[in-house]
Amino acid sequence: MRGILYPLHVGMLGLGVVGGGVYRILTERADHVAARMDRPVRLVSILVRNPSKPRSVSVEPGLLTDDPRKVLDDPSIAVVIEALGGEYPAVDYLRRALEHGKCVITANKEVMAKHGPELLALAAQNGVDIAFEASVGGGIPLIGPFRQDLAPNRILGIQAILNGTTNYILTRMSEDGSSFADALQEAQRLGYAEPDPTNDVDGIDAAYKLAILSTLAFQAPVRPEDIYTEGIRHLAAKDLRYAQEMGYRLKLLCVARDGAEGVQARVHPALLSRQHPLAQVDGVFNAVLVRGDLVGDVLFYGRGAGAEPTGSAMVADLIALGQGLTNGGGPLSPVHLSEARPLVPMDAVQSRYYLRMEVDDRPGAVAQIARILGNAGISIASVMQKEVGSAAGSAEMVIMTHPAAEGVMRKAKRGMAALSVVREIGGFLRVE
Ligand SMILES: NC(=O)c1ccc[n+]([C@@H]2O[C@H](COP(=O)([O-])OP(=O)(O)OC[C@H]3O[C@@H](n4cnc5c(N)ncnc54)[C@H](OP(=O)(O)O)[C@@H]3O)[C@@H](O)[C@H]2O)c1
């Protein structure tokens, strides 16, 4: 016969989109969660900025507070769920919760990308854990697999689409021929993009998530500033159309690889062959392709954001932590990070390239361009004249190259841009 099951006391930081999702799951599925965890959950306090603001969830009076001490300093609270967002004060609150011996669950990719290694060490020092499944890919299981299921592998590489907003914008540009500005406006109207879309469209959000995944994958810190980051603002609808015609799809791709020379980590738009598993990932969906030396390729796919998927990931973390606490276990699956590995500079990364340029429509123009590429040791895979250029006497052409180092390619690009026959290099994309 089982003894009395004491409720697990939980505090929450934030009751917005994600916090509201967690709250709904914990209240509407209380019995289900209790059964999975072997004990019920009791929500003790929820920190918000403004307790009197109208909310989409109806919360018991007295539960909301604007005083962080009610969550962080209450000795009865064993687990703190953080869904505030932003670096500060969130990171300070998480440190304080861990120092007070509380387990922490967070959806905060910025905090985990910038401070994850330090917070993991602090959790271990205090005999507790920090769970962050919701910080990458919303409801898609990723952190759990990296911490546990893929553990025997050496992870060779990750290719991923980790930002639903930009994937939605690129899908619209590709399917409807919309401009970047129009597709962004539509994403904002549908609630897929923030009023200030900077973090998404400039690749910052994707770089935070790649930092978290590659740190776990390579068991060594990879920080956001280690990641070459380029967004999608500069993309023209015609590049997506040409890509499609040539059998490619254009995606904001996250890439991390571990090789003999070190770790390379980058976020930038890239052409993917139509057969690539990530080429079919459209709209707001996310996907992560992981290559392990034992498992080979593993593909994760799903909704990367939203109250329910993200809430599902956080409550799953709560169930796992709650089971550990009930059974007297310590931290779940410890993360042991080694020293940071050497980084491969972007200039040394090898890739094929797509170049769209407007040139004088006269004999010898292509030969001059081919000479610059040839002198740099870059061989041309194909040259296509697409249509007449925007100005009289000009032609638009697309060149695809064989692999070259980024630094060499950039130098050749400067050389081509300086030719009098080249009017503009409007598209410069990597092909994965
Ligand atoms: N939205 C998603 O789909 C999604 C998916 C995955 C991960 N995430 C991550 O989840 C976190 C939360 O995102 P969200 O979309 O839920 O944000 P949100 O809707 O803006 O909610 C933030 C909540 O935190 C409270 N808050 C913020 N700063 C505070 C402070 N200094 N003191 C007290 N309370 C404060 C707000 O209080 P008030 O309600 O009083 O304003 C609000 O309840 C972020 O780290 C985000 O990156 C979000």
Give 145-159 pLDDT, tens digit per residue: 999 999 999 999 999
Mean pLDDT to the nearest integer, 321-346: 84
Check pocket membership of 306 for ligand 1, CB cut-off 6 A.
Answer: yes
Evaluate if residue 386 carries a pLDDT over 80: no
C-alpha 54 – ligand 1 centre gap (Å): 15
Q: How buried is 250 (Cβ within 10 angstroms: 0-12 exposed, 13-18 middle, 19+ buried)?
A: buried
> One of 102, 109, 209, 251 is an active-site residue; which one?
209
Check pocket membership of 53 for ligand 1, CB cut-off 6 A.
Answer: yes
Region for residue 80 given its phi and psi (left: phi exceeds 0; alpha: psi -120 to 50; beta: otherwise): beta
Q: Are strands 64-65 and 41-47 parallel, antiparallel or unpaired?
A: parallel
C-alpha span between 210 and 9 (Å, rounded): 33
* Closest-CA residue to 137 (of 277, 285, 20): 285
Bigger pLDDT: 363 or 118?
A: 118
Structure letter (DSSP) for residue 39: S
**Ordered DSSP codes for 342-377:** PBPPGGG-EEEEEEEEEEESSTTHHHHHHHHHHHTT
Tell whether the torsion through CA atoms of 413, 372, 352 and 366 is positive or negative: positive
Identify the residue whose C-alpha is closest to ligand 1 atom 20.
16
Specify the pLDDT at position 390. Answer: 66
Q: For this structure, is 209 an active site residue?
A: yes
Check pocket membership of 108 for ligand 1, CB cut-off 6 A.
Answer: yes
Q: Name the pLDDT band for 329 (thresholds 50, 70, 90).
A: low
Give 264-313 pLDDT, tens digit per residue: 999 999 999 999 999 999 999 999 999 999 999 999 999 999 999 999 99
Give 358-383 pLDDT, tens digit per residue: 999 888 999 999 999 999 999 999 99
Residue 288 to residues 146, 169, 242, 255, Cα–Cα distance (Å): 12, 19, 25, 10
Residue 231 to residues 136, 175, 176, 322, 331, Cα–Cα distance (Å): 18, 20, 20, 39, 37
Give yes or no for a contact between 421 and 397, defined as CB atoms under 8 angstroms apart: no
Token readout for 126 is 């205090």
Evaluate if residue 40 carries a pLDDT over 70: yes
Bigger pLDDT: 344 or 1?
A: 344
C-alpha span between 182 and 175 (Å, rounded): 13
Evaluate if residue 3 carries a pLDDT over 90: no
Give 408-422 pLDDT, tens digit per residue: 999 999 999 999 999
Cis upstream peptide for 89 (omega within 30°):
yes
Tell me how crowded residue 420 is: count the other CB atoms within 10 A of its CB. Answer: 8
Check pocket membership of 50 for ligand 1, CB cut-off 6 A.
Answer: yes
Q: Name the pLDDT band for 389 (thresholds 50, 70, 90).
A: low
Region for residue 334 given its phi and psi (left: phi exceeds 0; alpha: psi -120 to 50; beta: otherwise): beta
C-alpha span between 142 and 128 (Å, rounded): 21
Specify the pLDDT at position 1. Answer: 38
C-alpha span between 357 and 349 (Å, rounded): 23
Token readout for 319 is 């169930």
Q: Name the pLDDT band for 243 (thresholds 50, 70, 90).
A: very high
C-alpha span between 412 and 373 (Å, rounded): 6
Specify the pLDDT at position 388. Answer: 67
Token readout for 60 is 């018991």
* 380 alpha-carbon distance from chain centroid: 33
**How many percent of the chain have pLDDT more than 70?**
97
Specify the pLDDT at position 325. Answer: 84
Specify the pLDDT at position 330. Answer: 59
Check pocket membership of 107 for ligand 1, CB cut-off 6 A.
Answer: yes
C-alpha span between 430 and 432 (Å, rounded): 6
Tell whether the torsion through CA atoms of 409, 414, 420 and 421 is positive or negative: positive
User: Among 84, 104, 119, which residue has the most ligand 1 atoms within 8 Å of its CB, making it the best to mutate?
Assistant: 84
Mean pLDDT of the chain: 95
User: Among 45, 47, 48, 168, which residue has the most ligand 1 atoms within 8 Å of its CB, making it the best to mutate?
Assistant: 48
